[in-house]
Amino acid sequence: MVTTDPTLLMERIDKPVGARRTSLDDSRGYRVFRVVNVVVLLGVVAVTLYPFVNIVAQSFSSELYIRTGQVNLVPRGFNLDTYKLVASDSAFWNSYLNTVVYTVTATAISIVLTTIYAYVLSKHRLKGRGLLVGIAVFTMFFNGGLIPNYVLVNGLGMTNTIWAIVLPNAISVFNLLVMKAFFESLPAELEEAAAIDGLNTYGILLRIVLPLSKAVLATMILFYAVANWNSWFQAFLYLDRADLFPVTVYLRNMIAGATSATSVGAVETNAVAISANIKAVTMVLTVLPIVAVYPFIQRYFVSGVMLGAVKQ
């Protein structure tokens, strides 16, 4: 167990380590900061990690232990039956597959559209650039509202198709602005040199700019993919068939059904509460891909969030 007791940590740090006491890193104020920092961050880790570990532990536990509140960090009454049960539910895998298809398609569309838009906006010589930026930013603050949006999407014949999920909101204005700032930070001389060597605009974008933008692209992919994976509202609005639902709608319905089938005084003749471990298993399986992928793109993510923060 890592000690989180600040006084202990202080003692350890206060002991002189060799002769290196001159650098800025070792100043007293900085050392105090480091201790506080470690303590606070450990607290944050505990607070964020506990619910997650708890759900994982629940997913391997038997219902009785969960109901009596005995499951914390370690599974009690270990069982894999629930995993088998959920894994044998075709509706779950069907919606899971839907989520994968929606996420991949939506992310691809979003990346292409955002890149094109951002690249155009990064060129200061473009006439009407301010207007194009304004149009995008406008949507951050104002939108048509729920019902007009629904009428629009329905009028375009997109309800009950994948397009209702992947096309509306394909461009996130926030991501657009981050990308625009990144492109602006690329040295113009590179592009000029490429132009002299005979590349046209598309060639410059595809062969020069994009290969240099892997960090921002990875970040954007992560942003879009996570957002699409987690999104449920559009699917809920525009899809009327259970076989089209993504896994988030499935999960949301399951959790809502389990907690409130018996409330509201509703007279359900046989409101079987979904057992707590089924809920846990479904949650674990739903977040699994994101959790699995995250560590690998995390380094891009860390560098990516700083992108465009400083302009040269």
Partner 1 sequence: MRTKWKRTLLTLVAGSLVVSVAACSEEGADPGSGVNLDGKKTASMADYKAGAQFKATEPVDVGVLYLDQSHYPIKDDWLLWKEITQRTNVTIKPTVVPYSDYDQKRGLLISSGDAPTIISKTYPGQEEQFVSSGAILPVSDYIDLMPHFKDKVERWKLQPELNTLRQEDGKFYVLPGMHEKVWQDYTLAFRTDELKRLNLEAPKDWDEVYTVLKAIKAANPDSYPLSDRFEAKSILNYAGQTFGTQAGWGYVRNTIWNESAQKYEFTGATPEYKELIEYFHKLVAEGLMDPESFTQKDDAAIQKFASGKSFAISSNAQNIVNDYRPNVSKIPGATVAKIPLPAGPKGNVIRGSRLESGLMVSAKAVESDKFVATMQFIDWLWYSDEAQEFTKWGVKGTTYDKDSSGKRTLKPEVAFGGMNVGAPKNLQRDFGFQGGVFYYGGATELLQSMFTEEEVAFQKTMADKKVEALPPPAPLNEDERERAALLESPLKDFVTQSTLQFILGQRDLSTWDAYVKELEAKGSNDLVELVNGAHKRYKEKNG
Chain positions contacting partner 1, by CB under 8 A: 63-64, 67-69, 91, 145-148, 150-151, 154, 236-237, 240-242, 245, 249-250, 252-259, 261-274, 276
The residue count for the chain? 312
CB of 58 to partner 1, least distance (A): 11
* Measured distance CA(277)–CA(87) in Å, rounded: 13
CB of 268 to partner 1, least distance (A): 6
CB of 41 to partner 1, least distance (A): 28
- Among 11, 82, 20, which Cα is nearest to 277's? 82
CB of 53 to partner 1, least distance (A): 18
CB of 139 to partner 1, least distance (A): 18
**Nearest CB to partner 1, comparing residues 17 and 267:** 267
**Nearest CB to partner 1, comparing residues 261 and 293:** 261
C-beta separation of 83 from 97 below 8 A: no
**Nearest CB to partner 1, comparing residues 1 and 267:** 267
CB of 252 to partner 1, least distance (A): 5
**Nearest CB to partner 1, comparing residues 44 and 272:** 272
CB of 66 to partner 1, least distance (A): 8
The DSSP secondary structure of 227-291, one letter per residue, reads HHHH--HHHHHH---GGG--HHHHHHHHHHHHHHTT-TT---TT-PPPPHHHHHHHHHHHHHHHH
Instruction: Give ∠ CA 208-212-218 in degrees, rounded to 5.
Output: 130
In order of 43, 165, 291, the CA distances from 247 in angstroms are 32, 13, 16
How is residue 108 written in tokens? Answer: 């691809």
Q: Which amino acid is at 191?
A: E
Q: Which amino acid is at 8?
A: L
Residue 154 three-state SS = helix
**Nearest CB to partner 1, comparing residues 140 and 151:** 151
How is residue 235 written in tokens? Answer: 């699917």
